[in-house]
Each structure stands twice: as structure tokens, then as C-alpha cells.
Amino acid sequence: MTTAAAAGNIPVLGLGTYELTGETAFEIVRHALQVGYRHIDTAQAYDNEAEVGHGILASGLPRAHVFLTTKVWPDRFSRPKLIQSVDESLSKLGTDYIDLLLLHWPNPDIPLRETLEALMAVQSAGKTRFIGLSNFTIELMQQAIAICGRGKLVTNQVEYHPYLDQSRVIAAAHSLDMMTTAYRPIAKGRIFQEKTLQQIAQQHNKNAAQVTLRWLIQQGVIAIPRSSNPEHVSQNFEIFDFELTSDEMAAIDQLRGDRRLVSPEGLAPDWDKPPAEAA
């Protein structure tokens, strides 16, 4: 399946489940689906795939109505380990297919070709509908496309919020026929203290998180906010009844810099610099 096909299938707003475990993960996933979410994002490393699967089941929705994403951890990037790990994820999630399977972080210790060929083999076997990347730099995205060909890898999931300028990465993804998915979209709550966002939110009778999520999806970026609070999960979904003006979009753009919140030692690649620093 191509990127164009994925674009028509991936809901622009999803629920992130990082750090949601046990009963909380189950309840939040079920609640989100009842509110109207149709995109759930998890990962092998989150240790909650079973609870996510139970939450989807408990929602009463047909499996085909939920777009489910999970990710392969880098220590399972060799061909045999990757294939085995996907089978384990399917078992935990209680499903016979994943909608989108991502490589969670780059792993320079295993040849990228071996990993991507294993990822494509899993897709060919019908275990995932779409495949993609997460936390890949521009250079690594280009290397991946050179191996897979255009239209095969549908998205690169990266940290993106008003304080981190990812315009170069997003532009590069577009040039490679890939979408961009934003995790940490509300910057761990920092956006609630931002006067620019507060002022714009007041104009629309919304809150700063809703404005930020709207800013993302109006760029054509998929957003996957996470919350353990059912009320916040509900509020985050209420972004389809208003639109930001071009001036409001530009005002939020002005906040962007290099305030990265996620860069784990031993996993993070050599990040691309924002345009101002790269010049």
C-alpha cells in the first residue's frame, strides 16, 4: 500500500499511550474510543499492548474501525527477532493484524537494509497494513527510502510541538512522499503557560492544548497526545469545530525553537538542527 492510501486511512488525531499501564491503559483506551478517537498508538516498549488490546475490545467497536499503531524496539531489529517480536505484539494486542508498524528508534548496530527488509516481509505476510519510522533524521529517512522505494514507508513519528522547530524534517518527509506524526504534541503540558496560546485559545473558547493540536493538524501533521485523565482525553478530541487563522498559525510558528524534550542517551541519533542553526 502507498503513502496516498495511508493518508486516507490514518486518523489525524490519535491517542498516545506512553506511560499508561495496567488498568489505567485499559480504561483510557476504552474511554478514548467511546469519545470518538479511532487511532490508538502503542509500542512494545510501553509494556501495555495487552491492556491496549483489551481496551479496544471492550469499546465494542469492530476491529476494522480502529487504526492501531505499534512499534518495534531497536534490540529486535535483526530479521528473526523483528518477525518474532511482531508475532508477540499481535498476540498481546489480541489481533491478527496491525494497521501501522514503526521502527521505534534507529539502531546503527544492525544494517538498516536487514531491518527494513524484515519490516517489509511482515507487511507482505499481512501482519501489518502500513509500515514506517520513528525518530529518524533526514539522512536516515533518505537512506530508508533508498532501500524501500517511495510510497512504502508512510510516516516518520517524531517529537513535535510549538517549542521544537521540525520544519526541515517535515519538508524532507514530504519530499520523500512521507507523512509526519507528532508525539509529545503538547510539550508535557508546558504549552498551558504560554501567553500566545492562551490568547488564541480565548478567542476560540478553547484551551491551549486544543489550539496546539489544531495547529498541528492544520499543517497536515498527525498528532497523538497522551493523557491519563479522561477529561483531558475528551477535551483533546474537541478540535474539529474551529479553525485557526493564518495569522494565528504564524504566531504559534514564532514560538518554535530547539527545546527538545525527548533525547535518550544511547538511542537518540544526531538530531537535525532547526533551520536557524542549520543555516
Catalytic residues, which ones? 46
- DSSP, collapsed to helix, strand or coil, labels residue 145 as helix
Cα–Cα distance for residue pair 15/12, rounded to 1 Å: 10
Name, in order, each residue with C-beta under 8 angstroms of 170's C-beta and a sequence gap of 6 or more. 160, 180, 219, 221
Kindly give the residue spans of alpha helices, DSSP state H, lying in 149-222.
167-175, 195-204, 208-217
d(CA 250, CA 215): 10
Nine-digit cell string for 33? 474510543
Coil vs helix vs strand at 14 = coil
Vertex 97 angle, CA 96 and 100, to 5° = 160
Please report, in angstroms and rounded to a whole number, the separation of the first and last CA atoms in the chain.
36
The residues with which 155 forms a beta bridge, in sequence order, are: 179
Which residue is it, cell 502503542? 42
The closest of 166, 75, 20, 262 to 40, measured between CA atoms, is 20
Q: Map grid coordinates 502507498 to a residue.
A: 2
Strand 179-183 vs strand 222-223: parallel, antiparallel, or unpaired? parallel
Give the torsion sign (CA, 242, 194, 29, 12): positive
